[in-house]
Amino acid sequence: MAALTEEQSMIQHQAQSWVIKHASVQEFRNVRDGESDVEFSPQIWSEMVSMGWAGIIIPEAYGGSDLGYLTFGLILEQAGRQLSASPLFASALVGASAILLGGSESQKKMLLPGIADGSEIVTLALEEGPRHAPKNIDLTADSNADGFTLSGSKTFVCEGMSATSYIVAARTDGKAGSPEGITLFVVPADAEGIKRTKLNTVDSRGYANIEFSQVKVTVGAVLGTVGEGHALLEAILDRARAGIAAEMLGTGSQAFEMTLEYLKTRVQFGQVIGSFQALGHRAAGFYSQKELARSCVEAALQSIDNNDGNIDEMSSLAKCKVGDFLHDMSNELIQIHGGIGMTDEFNAGLYLKRARVLESSYGNQAYHRNRYAQIKGF
Amino acid sequence: MTENKLKLDEFRQEVSAWLEGNFPKSLNGKASEIGLGKNVSGRLAEDSDTWRKTLAAQGWGIATWPAEYGGAGLSQKHVQIINEEMDEIGAFNPIPMLAGMGVTMVGPTILEYGTEAQKLRHLPKMASGEIFWCLGYSEPGAGSDLASLTTKAEDKGDHWLINGQKVWTSGADIAQWCGALVRTDPKAKKRSGISFIMFPMDQAGVKTRPVKLISGDSPFCEMFFDNAKAEKNELLGDLNDGWSLGKRLLQHERQSQTGEGGPATGGECLGDIAKRYVGTDEHGTLEDTDLRLRLANHLMDEQAHKLTIRRIMAEAKGNVEVTAVASILKNSATDVAQTRTELLMELMGTQGLGWEGDEYSQDELGNVRMWLGVKAMSIYGGSYEVQKNIISKNILGLPETTQKG
């Protein structure tokens, strides 16, 4: 754990005990197995909001506490440990980052207080294909006298069903694949011409496909500068990557602890299986991987708080290293638990399923290895 | 700005001024050239000796030690400032190297376990770089299973009589003093009958022979004891308590081996070297795409390792306690160094297969030797596997693995 301020330690402890008590993996299981169509418990979300979690990175002038990304990461890590479902990450980190980085004064006033008090859920609508590709944008925004008309579709939109507004990456010029001609728009979810379809993803969380048919927006909906959205988009994505890396660190750490606990209690051949050197060495390897990943995640969040010049590099590093750890750890979780790990009744499967969704979000490990090489100039 | 920060800033200015007035300009950037001082002569040798003495008088050879033992009683933060200011002007601290295993390992252990007389006898000459220490640990039959060592020390009333053999002793051929683990109670269980005893190397009963390694270097020796003698007052810590003391000393070793620098992590960016040998396409991307991603992954692992050291320093607020966490860093430092040299070999192609000769550049030949040299990292100081045993038992609390004894 990074050297934390007193306030950060307090928030971390509060988050840890609250999540275990009120938003545990059992609560998520209840939502998954429940009759209702919602992907998270409104009760849990509203309690998170009332603790101020949705305003962590939002300045006080807009109703937040301005405590920064590292602090937010501490909370996301605890949520990740228990697979707590909520729009906290999608809206209060990604949505809020988008508005903070690209929003005009009026956009900030319009949306940030709502994000902080939970009345707005603002999410990023980016992907159009099955692989993370921030330049492959085909959804068009045609300029006209009244503003722009958006046509196209987005997939795998995080909390897409519950969102009140989307940050839509659209093309105002150029061809899919080009960094030029990308523009971001803030579009209300109830705008005419929007159709959303729930995706039944393997992790039973909230993702949706969104279709835009001749959706009309005014010039005031543009986030940042027309045609120059690529750099803004990458800046938003880097914050999303560092943030989700914190959640992944929590999910992986919990998987590690569940595995370690099992190694200490499961008896076979007359002894606890953790006494076998083959398993002890694997546990030691995962422990090291976990600690190395933690260093990367914390450093990435700190680089954002410090507004360093290498946020891109650090975010790719964090997403990749914690992705490797979570990938391997979630497989190991099943393997070490043996037969019981294969049952739906046991939680291991929930962690494995969630792990792959998290890995795929905002670029998987291969994506970030490639990006890191590019940043390093080879 | 806090008061503390102000004081550190003041200290930095003092250090800078002191270095300006005392560091001989002739030595600028010559740390590796001078090395142990054997290969230099004339003015350079005189200047480097003067510099050593000046630095020692200031107590900055090992500045964290108390002043009465040759240090300056400073904090890690102060030491960091001294190091940074030295780097800034091409100055260096030769004393840790000149003291062999003294400053880094034996010294901290004497500080912790030694009598006052032992501290006063040994520490100041380590801190001044006058005495080079070696460390007698491994034996032909006692490697990872160190506790099975058989070199014995008998109590002869007014001295200890030592017989046996050690191996893999760094610098035994140039050392003036040795600290060794020896068996003092042959009847006790193997970990309970060991003691740590110190003795001078310049005596008839001690012989050394360098061991030539696969890299061509001979940094290690065999050491033979045939009725070697140690004074009675050179037993460190309690009789037959050498095992716990010896393990503690190894923690200091691990800590000294896990620095950010190290032989295989610095230097020119691997990506740039790769571009020279492998070539790039029109976008400047390495042509070997498989190598490229493995290279990226390695650089990430290296960065993760460095960030972890930094994190541990920050968490410990500059004063890193010797903890079990050090054993994570030893394996990750090993992974980084060994992967780096393997990648270097791969990207140099057949130019990375030279042993000597003008057909190969000095860098190429150096990389080959380094590739062979760092294979030792996963063997010495507690092997890769022993480190994993330590992590699983001491950090994770898993039951003892299948070791006996």
Best of A267, A290, A292 to mutate (most B CBs within 10 Å, chain B): A292
Output the pLDDT for position B328.
87
Interface of chain A toward chain B, CB-CB under 8 angstroms: 1-3, 260, 263-264, 271-272, 274-277, 279-281, 283-285, 287-288, 291-296, 298-299, 317, 320-321, 366, 369-370, 372-374, 376-378
Q: Which of B295, B310, B315 has its CB closest to that of A1?
A: B315
Pairing mode of beta strands B220-231, B159-170: antiparallel
pLDDT higher than threshold 80 for residue B318: no
Q: Lowest mean pLDDT: which of A188-202, A329-343, B317-331? A: B317-331
Angle at A153 between CA A152 and CA A158, to 5 degrees: 145
Alpha helices in B227-288 (DSSP H): 242-257, 270-278
**Residues from chain B contacting residue A263 (CB–CB below 8 Å):** 398
Q: Domain holding A243: CATH number?
A: 1.20.140.10
* Mean pLDDT for the stretch of residues A62-80: 98
- The answer on B234 and B309 residing in a single domain is no
Give the tens place of pLDDT for each residue, B27-81: 988 887 777 776 778 888 899 999 999 999 999 999 999 999 999 999 988 998 9
Average per-residue pLDDT for chain A = 97
CA distance A271 to chain B (A): 10
Indicate whether B324 pLDDT > 60.
Answer: no
pLDDT tops 90 at residue A274: yes
Q: How many CA atoms lie within 13 A of A34 on its CB side?
A: 14
Q: What local confidence, expressed as pLDDT, does residue B270 receive?
A: 92
Q: Compare B250 and B131 and report the one with higher pLDDT.
A: B131
Give the residue-averaged pLDDT of A241-246: 98
Does residue A25 fall inside a structural domain? yes
CB A116 within 8 Å of CB A62: yes
* Percentage of the residues of chain A whose pLDDT score is greater than 70: 100
Residues A139 and A203 in one domain: yes
| For testing contact with chain A, the best of B302, B309, B388, B403 (most A CBs within 10 A) | B388
Average pLDDT over residues A243-271: 97
- CATH label of the domain that carries residue B302: 1.20.140.10
Least confident of A4-8, A159-163, B255-259: B255-259
Tokens of A145: 């006298």
Residue A79 is part of a domain; what is its CATH number? Answer: 1.10.540.10
| Closest approach of B295 to chain A, Cα-based (Å) | 8
Q: Inter-chain contact B304–A277, Cβ cutoff 8 Å? A: no
Per-residue model confidence (pLDDT) at position B263: 44
The partner residue sitting opposite B396, judged by closest CB among A3, A260, A377, is A260
Do the chains contact at B300 and A288, CB–CB below 8 Å? no
pLDDT in tens, A15-60: 999 999 999 999 999 999 998 888 999 999 999 999 999 999 999 9
What local confidence, expressed as pLDDT, does residue A319 receive? 98
Has residue A113 been placed in a domain? yes
Residue A96 has pLDDT above 50, yes or no: yes
Q: Which residues, 6+ apart, have CB-to-CB distance to B261 below 8 Å?
A: none
Contacts of A298 in chain B (CB under 8 A): 311
Residues of B in contact with A279 (CB under 8 A): 398
Per-residue pLDDT, averaged over A313-338, amounts to 98
Do B288 and B227 share a structural domain?
no
Under 8 Å between Cβ of B229 and B162: yes
Model confidence band, residue A304 (pLDDT cutoffs 50, 70, 90): very high
Q: Residue written as tokens 């990943």?
A: A293
Inside any domain, residue B105: no
- Is B233 in the same domain as B307? no
Is residue B400, in this structure, part of any structural domain at all?
no
Of A103 and B382, more confident: A103
A280 and B304: CB-CB below 8 Å? no
Report the residue of chain B nearest A274, measured CA to CA: B398
Do the Cβ atoms of A317 and B304 come within 8 Å?
yes
pLDDT in the model for residue B323? 55
Are residues A377 and B400, on separate chains, in Cβ contact within 8 Å? no
Q: What is the pLDDT of residue B405?
A: 45
Please spell the DSSP secondary structure of B328-393, one letter per residue.
Answer: HHHHHHHHHHHHHHHHHHHHHGGGGS-SSSTTS-HHHHHHHHHHHHGGGGGTTTS-HHHHHHHIII
Whole domain around residue A103: which residue ranges? 6-119
| Closest Cβ–Cβ partner in A264, A292, A294 for B332 | A292
Which residue among B271, B301, B389 places its CB closest to the CB of A376?
B271
pLDDT of amino acid B264: 45
CB contact under 8 A, B401 and A295: no
Residues B201 and B208: their CA atoms lie apart, in Å, by 9
Same domain? B21 vs B147: no
> What integer pLDDT is reported at residue A41 of this predicted model?
95
Contacts with A317 from chain B: Cβ below 8 Å: 300, 303-304
Boundary residue ending a domain (B52, B70, B97)? B97
Q: Are both A219 and A250 inside the same structural domain?
A: no
The answer to whether position A313 is within a domain reads yes
In this predicted structure, what is the pLDDT of residue B99?
94
Label the pairing between strands A207-217 and A194-199.
antiparallel
The total number of structural domains that make up chain A: 3
Look up the domain containing B216 and give its range. Answer: 116-240
Question: Are B311 and A294 a contacting pair, CB within 8 Å?
Answer: yes
CB A252 within 8 A of CB A290: yes
What's the whole-number mean pLDDT along residues A332-339?
97
| B169, B298: one domain | no
Q: Which of A228, A252, A271 is the last residue of a domain?
A: A228
Which pLDDT value is given to residue B321?
Answer: 55
pLDDT digit string, tens, across residues B236-289: 999 999 999 998 888 777 666 555 444 444 567 899 999 999 999 999 999 999
Nearest to A320 among B300, B310, B401 (CB): B300
Q: How many domains does chain B have?
A: 3
Enumerate the active-site residues of B: 253
Nearest Cβ partner for A369 among B271, B293, B399? B293
Closest CA in chain B for residue A298: B311
A283 contact residues in B (CB cutoff 8 A): 391-392, 396, 398
In this prediction, residues A150-177 reach a mean pLDDT of 97
State residue A288's pLDDT score.
Answer: 96
The mean pLDDT value of chain B amounts to 90
B388 contacts A275? CB cut-off 8 A? no
Domain assignment present for residue A299? The answer is yes
Neighboring chain A residues of B293 at a CB cutoff of 8 Å? 366, 369-370, 373
Q: Name the residue in chain A with its Cα closest to that of B308.
A: A295
Complex ipTM, two decimals? 0.94
